[in-house]
Amino acid sequence: MSTETDFYSLLGVGRDADAAALKSAYRKQAMKYHPDRNPGDAEAEARFKAVGAAYEVLKDPQKRAAYDRYGHEAFTQGMAGGGGGPGMGGAEFSDLGDIFETIFGSAFGGGGGGRARPRRGADLRYDLNVSLEEAFHGKSSEITVDIATACDVCSGSGAEPGTGKRRCETCSGHGKVRVQQGPFVMERACPTCAGRGEVLEEACHNCMGEGRVDTEQVLEVDIPPGVDNGTRIRLSGKGEAGPMGAPAGDLYIFVHVKPHSVFQREGTALFTRVPVSFTAAALGDTIEIPGLDGEVHKIDIPSGIQSGKQLRKRGAGMPVLQGRGRGDLVVEVMVETPTRLSARQKELLREFRETETGDECPESRGFFDRVKEAFGG
């Protein structure tokens, strides 16, 4: 197969394909032409390697930009600038970081003229939904994530078993090449070896030289009691494996607590609104609230309580995350006016109204006294 075949055509995607579409297309092509599925088929093997090479370029934003601009020439020695001669006038830097790296060294670019160290794998994020009860008690949860892990065939080295690495011919093992930008001659990471100074003698057939493959992983996550929305749990080394044996990144679990039908949470406090009858509010009563801790909490309603009054039960709220103690349970009383009264109940209320003096409801009496004073009686 010609090495000049368009990378987008190889993967069967348009030039505007996003990262997800590229990855999906690559997986389909790699599975279709994998040597294990096509034993002895040289054409399928060549196609398998070609789609791997195409995906390797297009999944990297900088490499993809260079390919979109220059095509295959962006990755040939002439374009890379082995000597920085007159033919290099058309080469461009992907951004100002390349120039700063050359002039100021590791403070901007991290290279400073030496070989590039294997870059650490990317950190990953996983959003986990839990109920308020699970946030209260804590739990151990299994999650399934799609992660790039070290290739089992080459043990993460990227090299076909039985082969190794050799010095990069483009940069002569220095990891840097010289390019000319106008009157300036600059150094940048070698595009052939990505600044490592070495290339694989033969890429692993399973991971295409990447040293990692996408696998489905089942991981166990311990959710501590007291977690809240936005709580972040770090699983060290459980992120994406680094290329060619580099260390793996971390996996961050972001916790989202689902709304509850009874309680609203604010920090370690639990809030709930409880309707009480107007007789209970007038005479006083005791109500029972089932808690997340499995206990029944008794709340005393003092006589004469008004709507909106909050009553607090100390230590009956949420646990303190990674600490001791618990917050409070806060009950907001909502006095409910009866809407369905029997004839006898109405008669009793009329009798009560006839005995009213105005002192029974001081807030109401005070308001109308102010009205009379404001409007002259």
Least Cα distance to 328 among 262, 276, 260, 267 occurs for: 267
pLDDT bin (cut points 50, 70, 90) of residue 376 is: confident
- Residue 20 to residue 2: CA distance in whole angstroms: 26
Residue numbering of the annotated binding site for Zn(2+): 151, 154, 168, 171, 190, 193, 204, 207
| 139, 200 contact by CB (below 8 A) | no
pLDDT at 9 over 70: yes
pLDDT bin (cut points 50, 70, 90) of residue 57 is: confident
Rounded average pLDDT over 67-87:
54
> CB neighbours of 141 closer than 8 A, spacing ≥ 6?
128, 130, 220, 221, 223
Q: What pLDDT does residue 116 have?
A: 56
- Residue 297 to residue 290: CA distance in whole angstroms: 6
- Residue 358 to residue 366: CA distance in whole angstroms: 9
Give tens-digit pLDDT for 353-370.
899 887 888 877 788 788
At residue 243, the 3 state secondary structure works out as helix
- Residue 177 to residue 189: CA distance in whole angstroms: 6
The vertex-163 CA angle with 189 and 119, nearest 5°, equals 35
Residue numbering of the annotated binding site: 151, 154, 168, 171, 190, 193, 204, 207
- Residue 264 to residue 136: CA distance in whole angstroms: 13
| 240, 121 contact by CB (below 8 A) | yes
pLDDT at 102 over 60: no
Q: Which is more confident, 192 or 109? A: 192
Rounded average pLDDT over 295-307:
94
* Structure tokens belonging to residue 56: 């390797």
Which domains are seen in the chain, by residue range?
1-75 (1.10.287.110), 268-374 (2.60.260.20)
> Which residue type occupies 244?
M
Give tens-digit pLDDT for 274-296.
999 999 999 999 999 999 999 99
Q: Which is more confident, 87 or 188? A: 188
Give tens-digit pLDDT for 314-343.
999 999 998 889 999 999 999 999 989 999
Percentages of the chain per state (helix, strand, coil), in multiples of 5: 30, 25, 45
pLDDT bin (cut points 50, 70, 90) of residue 80 is: very low
- Residue 74 to residue 188: CA distance in whole angstroms: 14
Q: What pLDDT does residue 308 have?
A: 94
> CB neighbours of 343 closer than 8 A, spacing ≥ 6?
none
* Structure tokens belonging to residue 180: 């000319």
Global confidence as pTM: 0.59
**Mean pLDDT rounded to a whole number for the chain:** 82
Q: Report the share of the chain in percent with pLDDT over 90.
A: 37
Q: List C-alpha distances in Å: 68 to 7, 8, 23, 60, 63.
A: 10, 10, 18, 12, 9
Please state at what angle helix 42-58 crosses helix 19-33, rounded to 10 degrees.
170
| Maximum average pLDDT range among 71-75, 119-123, 146-150, 308-312 | 308-312
